[in-house]
Amino acid sequence: MIVGIIGRGRMGSALARALAAHGGPVLIAGRGDPVLPPDPFAPYPGIRSVPTGAVVAGADLVVLMLPFAAAVELALAGRLDDGRGRTVIDATNPPRAGVTPPAPAESGGRLLAELLPQWRVVKALNTVPAGMLDEPVLDGRPVTVPLAGDHPPAKAEVSALLRRLGFAPVDVGGIDRAPALESLADLLMAISSRHALRGRLGFQVALAEPRAAVDGGLSGPAHVELSRRAPAGGGERQRRPAPAAESARSPAGRPPRPSR
């Protein structure tokens, strides 16, 4: 599968390198059509720098990794019209997404879905900092990526791509859930800024009991845990091991009190 990326900034470049490291061909374009030398992706044989039109025409799946206003501008200019029923990942975040909860039609993901009816829009990857794209693991577990969209086959396609990169995708519902994902991204950025993490953080939805994930979703009760990656060269304290299971009977010989 050829993945196309529109956006050659920090996020788009990091995603292109991560995809190339996993052996997938990548087409990448910036906001403007000209590809000026020197090409920063020349050392990566799997990545081709091309104009925006070539990404739209030649990719099997397209990822929008550029500022939200730029994505809207491309859509309004008709430069993304050639959808042909393919999947596009909306990884954008509207400015100050979590300050005032927008109406569904005003959310970034919902607006792009309305502007791009010839595409199957899936909101995903907007909660992932660039620094987590190459190694999406914290405390030995993959970083969770929520995704939202109205087309189950498209969400399955995006889930497969995320798993190939090492993430744990979680289907949260239709594109009407996009405002929640955008607010989550705003919250994570606020945490990163508050604690000077420089984007070295992610979140994980972990199963409370060891039960299998089904089709990219989760079954059973779950809890959310925020983690951060230890800075390079440093080491955070290791998490204490879980306490041993309680014996069948208490020291006093009484049956243990049932858990609530």
21-60 residue pLDDT tens: 998 899 999 877 666 678 889 889 999 999 999 999 999 9
Please name the residues in contact with 47: beta carbons below 8 A apart, sequence gap of 6 or more: 16, 17, 20, 26, 28, 41
Residue 243 pLDDT: 43
Residue 205 pLDDT: 87
Structure tokens at 115: 């502007």
Residue 39 pLDDT: 82
Put simply, whether the predicted model's pTM sits higher than 0.85 gets the answer no
Structure tokens at 195: 């604690």
Beta bridge partners of 25: none
51-102 residue pLDDT tens: 999 999 999 999 999 999 999 999 999 999 999 999 999 999 998 644 444 4
Residue 33 pLDDT: 64
Percent of the chain whose pLDDT exceeds 70: 73
* Mean pLDDT for the chain overall: 82
